[in-house]
Amino acid sequence: MRIVLGVGAGIAAYKSCELLRLLTESGHEVRVVPTPDALRFVGEATWAALSGQPVTATAWDQVHDVPHVRLGQTADLVLVAPATADLLARAAAGMSGDLLTAVLLTARCPVIFAPAMHTEMWEHPATQANVSTLRARGALVLEPAAGRLTGHDSGPGRLPEPAELLRAAVRVLARGAAGLAPDLAGRHVVVSAGGTREELDPVRFIGNWSSGLQGYALAVTAAARGAKVTLVAANVTLADPAGARVLQVTSAAQLRDAVIEAAHDADAVVMAAAVADYRPEARSATKIKKTGAAPDPIRLVENPDILRELSARRPRPGQVVVGFAAETEDLLGNGQAKLAAKGCDLLVVNQVGPGIGFGVSDNEALVLAADGSQTRVGRGPKETLADAIWDLVADRLSG
């Protein structure tokens, strides 16, 4: 695929060097188009060496190739990282004072902006208005990550990690022409991921094998389709997906509170986390010691049924609720029973066991719908299942 990597004049430009390496190592032909001031942060020679392509910031070089038109016309994707406040403003206004903004005007392929700036600049009404304008035109403007910025500042405005930007780009490219019109644009979706832990004492817990891979695939795929994503992650060690706001939790009770609050204004909620059905009635404040005698029985109490509560509450009209059912046998029978009991719109039933489901990069599932329809998704990357789920969600939201 032919990718134009636009680079704005921000300190985060150094991270785009790693992004460029990842893109080229993935087999893509990448042409770097920095703004003139971006070359103050990373020089032309670095971009040329890493990409194997000529680099220019103005439309006055190689004029015979008409680069300000040809680059946009022939690209399969334009990825701008970092996208500064100034660059977002000029793109929204349709200005073309340098090669990159001219390419943005001529591009007829999906365009991704990965903003990076100080929190105050990102939250300023002018920047938010520019972001809204670009999104309304079909561009994918990712939410910035939160974390350490320049100096001692910290907050939203950090460029997502290069590997996560690569994942977002791959998901957009995989959608082909559909990537030109993000079908979840303007939607807020909540995804839960990982596995909850119920503490017995300060060092032991009851848990499960969920790695969070499927939930994170759902998050990155939703962001690549234009959604505002809130990801509630239970005990997951994966990097934050580009474009998602991540809330870290430990127990089922904490996950329930975070999801219920986030779902208040959500268009869709996908409960991909493996939530413990039970928790110890009492937690020891100190480590339980081995005494040589038989241990006291652990009395368990039931955790809240988050999926059923979500399905019943529906704080927003038309909200779509999706559940997951990890089964070891009789997927259809157990899935239909759970769908009826929970009251959700869609139930993703997947088999778990050695080498399938938990902790692996691929998955397969039977998606049952409240209207009686069934969708079978064959074994493949977890992103493929995620796209299939969002297809079903998008159909229901548009209906």
Backbone angles phi and psi of 267, in degrees to 5: -80, -30
Helix (H, G, I), strand (E, B) or coil at 323: strand
Token output for 300: 């368990």
> Of 130, 208, 303, 350, which residue is the catalytic one?
208
The alpha carbon of 233 is separated from its chain's Cα centroid by a whole number of angstroms, namely 12
Round to whole Å and give the CA distance between 107 and 143: 22
Cα–Cα–Cα angle for 215, 216, 221, rounded to 5 degrees: 100
Residues paired with 230 in a beta bridge:
190, 245
The alpha carbon of 220 is separated from its chain's Cα centroid by a whole number of angstroms, namely 2
| E strand spans, the chain | 2-7, 29-34, 77-83, 111-115, 140-141, 145-148, 154-158, 188-194, 198-199, 205-206, 228-234, 244-249, 268-271, 278-280, 300-302, 320-327, 346-351, 362-369, 374-381
Token output for 327: 């089964």
Amino acid at 43: G
DSSP letter assigned to residue 318 = T
Q: At what angle do helices 85-93 and 125-136 cross, to 10 degrees?
A: 50
Residues paired with 2 in a beta bridge:
29
Quick check: is 303 catalytic? no
Residues paired with 209 in a beta bridge:
none
What is the set of active-site residues?
208
